[in-house]
Structures are given as C-alpha cells and as structure tokens.
Amino acid sequence: MRTRRLGELDVSAFGLGCMGMTSAYGPAAETGEMITLIRHAHDLGVTHFDTAEAYGPFANESLVGEALTPIREQVVIATKFGFNIDSVTGARGPGTNSRPAHIRAAAEGSLKRLRTDRIDLFYQHRVDPDVPIEEVAGAVSDLIAEGKVRHFGLSEAGVQTIRRAHAVQKVTAVQSEYSLFWRGPEAELLPLLDELNIGFVPFSPLGAGFLTGKIDETTTFDATDFRNMVPRLAPEARKANMALVEAVKVIAEAKPATPAQIALAWLLAQRPGISPIPGTTKRHRLEENLGAMEVSLTAADLAEIETALSGIEVKGERLPEAVLKMTGL
C-alpha cells in the first residue's frame, strides 16, 4: 500500500470508513467479524481508520478501539465531534453542539472508547452555526497542546469556514463527499485545499455503493438503511443514473478492472493529498477496493472518463434536504 500525505499527516492511500459496520446501511454487522475485517485491512496495508462518536452513537468507536488496540502504534485513528450527544449516556439531542466544553467532553469520551491516549485526527463533524469556528479551532488547539489530539479536521465545511479555522489552528484534513457520482468539491473546495496544503478525505467514494454496479432501480434496501432517504438513490433516480454506471463499466472492461476500482483509481488520480475512505462489511469487497491501487489511469484514460461522463446529468440531490442544510457545500 502506498501512502499519501494529508497536510503533515502520513496515511495509507486508501483508508477504511468504518461507519457502516454499526449503522447507516442496515443492521449492525457481527462485532467479531468486523474486528477481523479491520485487522485484515491493516494486514493489507491500511493505516487510516475513520469513525465518529455519532456512529451508533458510540458503538463504532468502541468497535474500532477494540480492533486496533493490538496495532495502535501502527495506525491513524480519525474520529469526529459536533453533534448534540450526551457524552455519558449517548442520548442524541437535536442539531449540532460544538461548544468548547462539549468538544472537550466528546474528546474524553472518544479516547476511552478508542482505548487510546490520543486522537490522531479530530474532525468537527458538521459546522455549528451557533459557535464561531474560531472558538472550535481554539478548543481543539488546546487539546492538541495537551497531547490528547494530534491533528484538526473539518467535515463538510465551506471554504470561508475552513479559512477562518485554519487561521487559528492548522487544519490537516477536510472530509467531504466526493466521487464520480458527486463532484461538487471541484469548484471551490479542492482549489482552496491545494492553496492551504490541507489534505482531502472523500467519504462515499463509491456513491453509497451505486458506483459498484451492483445496485439498480430494482434494488431494495433494508428498512433502516439511510439510502432510502437519499433523493438520488430513489428508484426513479437510480434508473436515470444508471447511465453513469454503464459508462464506468465500459471503461472498467477495457482496463480490465471492476467499476468500483475505476471509481477509486479516478479519485487517487485527482491529486496527491487525497485518501478516500471506502467502507464495507465484506472481506471480498475490501480486497476489491484496495485492488484499485493497482489500476493505473493515464492522462488519456482520465480524459476518456471525462468525455464519457460529461453529457450525463445525475438526477436527485446527494442527501435529504434537512441534512444538506447542515453542510457548508
């Protein structure tokens, strides 16, 4: 596994997004199997593992902490704060909460669940409109000074928010959705990250599974799967958006590779300071995703992809309206 640099933090080119192991994509997977999967990812060269207190809440951090304890000194653990979650009970309240006292309580809780003495990358999960970003950056800066956090990150933040935060405490990485299915960050976000030497961590790099080619308009998601609420993954939108997947399939067959591998290789080719975090609960999908490292896309390949997709308009918003309002993009 080759490495990438996020700001001043070295990570594996691909990380592992762990959210779906305990939430969002249906019932939680079996804990023992997920511990084995996380450790297998490390055996294959993954050193970058992404979680959050909100995934569960708390269950995902506990899983990741247990899985990585034997190899803690060999990995980078990224987690997130910023929702209104009681740090003791895990009760979820409405909206966001990035008050400095709450950030500190969240950090202490995460450290315990992750079974570690420091958080390598601590993201604000969503920007809190009620707390100036300078106060958030200052609170994380204090945690860095105390050795409890190593690096500061922002998730789904707008460019002005990033600039203001970076002026107080260097932002190491920004996490936002980015894939062949959603290219919104290209307009303003990615140029800013290049300017400020901030790394980029794309989540949903496979479009919540859509770019694998294994989902079509007939696919039924579990009742608890968040994709049931995503406009661009509604059955009619999926039917229209299959044109995108078919175009990727044609390119994949010529390499040869799988559609997922083309989508992930395309992301790696966009810039050096990028580490996508595809998630999975299946060993063969993990190995397929990491196999994208061996897919080389030339300038001609990238131009072919651009041409093939240029006339395809993705139907539907990437997130429900209420969730979109919480992003800065």
SS (H, E, C) 119-188: EEEEEECCCCCCCCHHHHHHHHHHHHHCCCEEEEEEECCCHHHHHHHHHHCCEEEEEEECECCECHHHCC
pLDDT at 325: 87
pLDDT at res. 229: 96
What pLDDT shows up at residue 37?
98
pLDDT digits (tens, 9 = 90+) for 198-234: 999 999 999 999 999 999 999 999 999 999 999 999 9
> Does residue 171 lie in a domain region?
yes
- Does residue 106 or residue 86 have the better pLDDT? 106
Active site residues: 55
pLDDT category, 87, cuts 50, 70, 90?
Answer: confident
Position 329 in a domain: no
Query: In the predicted model, is pLDDT for residue 238 greater than 80?
Result: yes
Q: How far apart are CA 209 and CA 223, in angstroms?
A: 17
For tokens 């790099």, what's the residue?
Answer: 205
* 245 located within any domain: yes
Q: Is the pLDDT of residue 328 over 80?
A: no
Q: What percent of the chain has pLDDT over 90?
A: 96
Q: Is residue 125 part of a domain?
A: yes
Q: What number of other Cβ atoms are within 10 A of residue 303's Cβ?
A: 11
pLDDT of residue 322: 87
Lowest-confidence region among 71-75, 242-246, 325-329: 325-329
Q: 15 vs 89, which has greater pLDDT?
A: 15
**Residue 88 has what pLDDT?**
82
Residue 135 belongs to a domain with what CATH number?
Answer: 3.20.20.100
Residues of the chain above pLDDT 70, percent? 100
Q: Does 78 map to a domain?
A: yes
pLDDT at 271: 95
pLDDT of residue 26: 94
β-sheet bridge partners, residue 317: none
Provide the domain count of the chain: 1
Tokens of 235: 């059955």
Q: Indicate whether 258 belongs to any domain.
A: yes
> Mind spelling out the 3-state secondary structure of 29-89?
CCHHHHHHHHHHHHHCCCCEEECCCCCCCCHHHHHHHHHHHHHHHHCEEEEEECEEECCCC
For residue 294, name the pLDDT band (cuts at 50, 70, 90): very high
Name the residue range of residue 171's domain. 3-324
Q: What is the mean pLDDT of residues 45-66?
A: 98
